[in-house]
Amino acid sequence: MKSKYPKTEIRPFEETLHGQRMVDNYRWLETESEERSAWIDLQNKLVDKLVLDDPGREKFSKRFDELFNYDRTNFPTATLSRIFYTRIKRGEKHASLYMRSWPHGEEQILIDINDFSSQGNISLGSYMPTRDGKLLAYRLSKDGSDWTHLYILDVDTGRIFDEIPRLAYTSTVWLPDNSSFIYSRSTDPDNLSKNGMKVFLHKLGTDWRQDEMIFGHGLTETDLPNVSAISRDGLHAIISVQHGLTVNELFYADLSADEIRFDSLTENNPDRFFADIHRGVLYIRTSNKAPNYRVCRIDLDGSPPLLSKWETIVPEGDNVLNGLGLMGDRMFVKQSIDVKTHTFIYSLGGKKIGELEYPGIGNGSLPYGEEDVDAVFVYYSSPFQPGETYQYDLQQNTLTKFTESNLKINTDAYVTEQVFFKSFDDTVVPMFIVRHRDIELNGSNPAILTGYGGFGSSYLPFFSVSTVFWLEQGGIYAFANLRGGGEYGESWHQAGMLGNKQNVFDDFIAAGEALIGERPVRLVDEDHFSVRRYSSRKHLGILGGSNGGLLTGAALVQRPDLWGAVISNVPLLDMLRFHLTQGGKYWMSEYGNPDKAEDFEWLLSYSPYHNVKEGSNFPPAFLKTSLHDDRGTNSLHAFKMAARLQAANVSDNPIILRTMTNVGHGTGRTTQMNIDEQTEIFLFMVKHLM
């Protein structure tokens, strides 16, 4: 039966963009009003009726409560005398911050987040202790907003003696003597969206409004500067300036000089640079002249260590170098070999001497911590193992479990397999498939396909509550490693950005065809392609969030016939207006600038909102958004897309919209909010795919 949707008034807004007449019937949904609020409420009530009014709701909610609501401790931050870590206990809304003296001190709670709000709309953001562990900078967020309030805490007394309001997209880096820290903010923190970010030096106990700006002249509104490294002696500092979120440059300053001046290291060659300072030497992992990255070094002697003087100590190879860590007399280089994590150990001079062995095939971190007190840790997770922390012995190269999850899952019956398929231009694309090992590949299995394909982010195998739940229902879960990500280096990223973005959607559509047997696949240990029918069109769903929400939105309008159900979570869908929101302006380096004629053409060609065809037979689609999403994924995208899809759809399949309140892009959600969200997502998927 065709769904009866809330009435959405058409108010044509006409404009001419680059010589083209454009009409936006739902522009009014971008502006807050009583009428829009009433419309949102009616859309939410429709979701309640079509999804939550289901006899399986209580059962699903109970299982998600078991999967989400358990005691767990997150990765620690180590100092010379203490370790700090967040922990959430069963029944709590958010994680709180704890501390204990290293190695055998008694645990102490520093920030009990439950004291801040009975509604649970205050959450802890990033935190940074001084190296001696005596002071702590931490940030709190309200309603999941990217805007945060910074506090400085005296760990011994519990006294807060400094704070800075309204910060976003910034890190806090302490100077070694604890007297001050470096951070980034707008020159007008009440109007961040219209003022570029600068770098400031804050001296404790002084008015932050009088902080000295030490870097930022000449930066544009889409530049994001942050300190990436300070030497332990406090003499050297490196600032990274991101031009959007795609390329960056490095700047160096001798902090012992009478006047702090940052000079360019990269000599006007924007690329991807990641810097660290270790024992007076600057180490850089870069894609400059090396799409798969190389590792360089140069001694710091007070003069600018220019790019032309860098010494390559780990050259580019066939596999992407996607991480670099320095600890003691060793260098840890993380590599992705066919999207599997390997971390190799090198001498500081660049000689390979071993490998860090993770517990299995999954996603392992580099070692982090304080080698001076043997407080070095590694984080590891896999599709079947929740994230756990291991203490790492530098000398013995061994891992010992430091924290253990009390979430016990029987995964003996499940298997993760890697396959490869050819996209429409014959590019070979990898995909991980998680399933029951004895499942019959007869084309009738319910399956969910997900992906990301953007910003050079690699989609490695990881633990997911939703994956576990779906497997328990008898489903298959597939993760496609699309172009636009970083799985095969910067060339793989560039093949899916700007004017090449359609490649990402093509890869995803090809992945869907591979899962239903319309495109052959090759198993990782085979040398030939063959058809494997994991699922079928009516049983295949797709799910993605943020840039992945754009992905599923594009796949919906480009191939509505291929999917049994679609979920687009906190998406961006109007690609001509994403850059007008607070965080969206930083994404133009990835997608393009709609104000430029050339970029406008390719953005318009795939923009999901602009490519909805009237009279289409759309599959069931579920759009989810948040009123407090500060980024380019502002709720305007889902609002307008839902209205247009509901008007254009001629099938009986529902097009529904859930608007969440008191949360942001992905932060600020309480445990119960996560339970409720996953419950309704999988009620929707089970109803339409099984």
Catalytic residue numbers? 546, 665
Alpha carbons 456 and 504: distance in angstroms, whole number: 12
Is residue 155 within 8 Å of 135, Cβ to Cβ?
Answer: yes
Which H helix or E strand runs over 86?
strand 82-88
Tokens 């479990």 identify what position? 401
Alpha carbons 346 and 352: distance in angstroms, whole number: 4
Alpha carbons 500 and 482: distance in angstroms, whole number: 12
Q: Which residues on neighbouring strands pair with residue 285, listed in sequence order? A: 274, 295
Find, among 394, 380, 272, 392, the residue nearest to 331 by Cα.
394
Alpha carbons 96 and 118: distance in angstroms, whole number: 14
Tokens 């400031």 identify what position? 200
Alpha carbons 375 and 81: distance in angstroms, whole number: 10
Phi-psi region of 18 (alpha: psi -120 to 50; beta: other; left: phi over 0): left
> How far apart, in Å, are the Cα atoms of 375 and each of 234, 369, 401, 448, 670?
22, 6, 13, 40, 31
Reduce the DSSP state of residue 182 to 3 states and report it.
strand
Token pair in block for residue 361: 């095939």
Token pair in block for residue 99: 């501390």
Degrees to nearest 5, angle at CA 687 with 58 and 569: 85
- The total number of residues shown for the chain amounts to 690
Task: Specify burial of residue 9 (Cβ count, 10 A radius: 0-12, 13-18, 19+).
Answer: exposed
Tokens 């859309």 identify what position? 43
Alpha carbons 577 and 584: distance in angstroms, whole number: 9
* Residue type (1 letter), 570: V
Other CB atoms within 10 A of residue 373 CB = 15
